[in-house]
Chains A and B, each alone.
Chain A
Amino acid sequence: MTAHAWTLAFAFLILGPLLGALLAGLDRILTARMQSRRGPPLLQPIYDVLKLFEKDTLVVTSLQTLYLWGFLLFMAISGFILFLGGDLLLSLFALAVSGILLCLAAYATNSPYSNIGSSRELMLMMAYEPMLLIVPLGFFLVTGSFRVSDIIAGEPWQVLELGGILIGFLFILTIKLRKSPFDLSSSHHGHQELVKGLTTDFSGSDLALVEIGHWYENVILLGWLYLFFAPLGVAWALPISLILFFGEVLVDNTHARLKWAPTLRLSWWVTGLFGVTNLVLLSLFA
């Protein structure tokens, strides 16, 4: 581990949420512009979270706060490993654990809305985890290593070899970012049928923890996307991954929500068609 890697990893811990908040703010402005509205200020997500800390926190069960801290902790660990240039698989597993802890937190509160939200979230995890697992495998077949630092040092044309996996990853990115048509676990807008699903029973600082976790998640997912283009150098990789990242906003605004069964079917089809095929081709010819 070089000093540079450690700086990057600690920078993620401290500046990660800030960057994630800016991404979320930009997302909200873009969404508003697509609906020909002006939209909120760029720093709105930060105002929201600071406000949540001013509010009272209604505690349904003291377990919820514990689970939420766990969610945040594992999210941070996942990102820390990623930005340290460590093992991509470890980062992936930490991400999965943090997702499960969020579901547990929602299950712990007894509201039927959060229960439905978390069972839908578990269903979504089943939809995206296979594809998410294929991504490190693909990197391994191309670069011969699971380490992020080796992947970054790979060949510039690795993204071409991983074309199918990139398409599959972009597909599940929509699920991970909880965008339409796959926002069924948290219903993007609070006034819809699920009244926010997962987070229905969280208020005040608990809800703020969830938001901060999502900021971390934004940065981690952007980091994963960046990995595909990383060998091209920052000047190319960063703009490309940002454009693809915000492409999700367009998808979000042009699609209605799907039910869980079509979601599962569709994502497994995409996983099989693009992810697995790409993997098989790689192992045959590489």
Chain B
Amino acid sequence: MSFITKSPWILHYAATSCNGCDIELLACLTPHYDVERFGIVNTGNPKHADIFLVTGSVNEESRKVVENLYAQMPDPKAVVAIGACALSGGIFRDAYNVYGGIDKVIPVDVYVPGCAARPEAIIDGVVQALAILDERAKERKRQRKMVAA
């Protein structure tokens, strides 16, 4: 098992969400849920982050930010889309100005449904992302060895 599963640092970005999901996400850090138990830390810095948590339906403005943040995260990394908006556009799906889903912009690994997504569901999503991260960390190690050889 790689250490990335023991210390996943998250980056949170609200890509045109209504802030409902964001409040649920931040609730995970409060004493009631306390995700720091699992070594999860909320960093605001993409260069320190391992898991990218995105909420909202993404419009042209936030698309650039999402792409930029994703590009700045060092590998191995994973993306979790949170809330109905981030999955498909949610109630804003038919609006003329939204892309409707994070996966229209960057590759998403885990989808957490709900409007708003519950903190338990978000934590579960992050835990599922850990399994993916573990795979990627091993893959990355293999790649590095190949480059060195």
Contact among B6, B34, B42, B50 with A55 in the assembled complex (CB-CB below 8 Å): B50
CB distance from B54 to the nearest CB of A (A): 15
Q: How far is the CA of A158 from the CA of B48 in the complex (A)?
A: 45
CB distance from A223 to the nearest CB of B (A): 28
Residue of B nearest to A45 (CB): B7
Contact (Cβ within 8 A) B39 A40: yes
| In the complex, chain A residues whose CB is within 8 Å of the CB of B36 | 28, 32, 37-40
Q: How far is the CA of A128 from the CA of B3 in the complex (A)?
A: 36
* A 25-52 binary contact with B (CB < 8 Å = 1; else 0): 0001000100111111100100110110
* B 40-52 binary contact with A (CB < 8 Å = 1; else 0): 0111110110100
CB distance from A30 to the nearest CB of B (A): 13
Most buried by B among A36, A37, A58, A199: A37
Contact (Cβ within 8 A) B3 A51: yes
Q: How far is the CA of A32 from the CA of B133 in the complex (A)?
A: 26
Contact (Cβ within 8 A) A56 B47: no
Asked if B108 is at the interface (CB within 8 A of a chain A CB), the reply is no
- Contacts A47-B6, A54-B76, A56-B140 given; indicate if A41 touches B45 (C-beta within 8 A): no
- Contacts A54-B141, A56-B74 given; indicate if A191 touches B48 (C-beta within 8 A): no
Most buried by A among B4, B6, B31, B137: B6
| In the complex, chain B residues whose CB is within 8 Å of the CB of A203 | 47-48, 74
Contact (Cβ within 8 A) B45 A195: yes
Contact among B37, B44, B48 with A39 in the assembled complex (CB-CB below 8 Å): B37
Contact (Cβ within 8 A) A48 B7: yes
Contact (Cβ within 8 A) B34 A37: yes
Contact (Cβ within 8 A) B47 A201: yes
* A 78-92 binary contact with B (CB < 8 Å = 1; else 0): 000000000000000
Q: How far is the CA of A57 from the CA of B48 in the complex (A)?
A: 10
CB distance from B73 to the nearest CB of A (A): 9
Q: How far is the CA of A92 from the CA of B110 in the complex (A)?
A: 50
* B 112-144 binary contact with A (CB < 8 Å = 1; else 0): 000000000000000000000000010011000
Asked if B75 is at the interface (CB within 8 A of a chain A CB), the reply is yes
- Contacts A32-B34, A38-B34, A48-B7 given; indicate if A58 touches B47 (C-beta within 8 A): yes
Q: How far is the CA of A199 from the CA of B72 in the complex (A)?
A: 15
CB distance from B44 to the nearest CB of A (A): 4
* A 50-79 binary contact with B (CB < 8 Å = 1; else 0): 110011111000000000000000000000
Interface residues of A in 144-160 (CB under 8 A from B): none
Asked if A202 is at the interface (CB within 8 A of a chain B CB), the reply is yes
Q: How far is the CA of A39 from the CA of B2 in the complex (A)?
A: 21
Contact (Cβ within 8 A) B31 A37: yes
Contact (Cβ within 8 A) B74 A200: no
Listed by A's residue number, 10 A-B pairs whose Cβ atoms lie within 8 Å are A38-B36, A44-B6, A47-B7, A55-B74, A190-B48, A191-B42, A195-B45, A203-B74, A204-B74, A207-B48
B interface residues, Cβ below 8 angstroms from A: 2-4, 6-7, 9, 12, 31, 34, 36-39, 41-45, 47-48, 50, 72, 74-76, 137, 140-141
10 closest residue pairs by CB, A with B: A190-B43, A191-B44, A56-B74, A51-B3, A50-B3, A47-B6, A203-B47, A37-B34, A51-B7, A47-B7
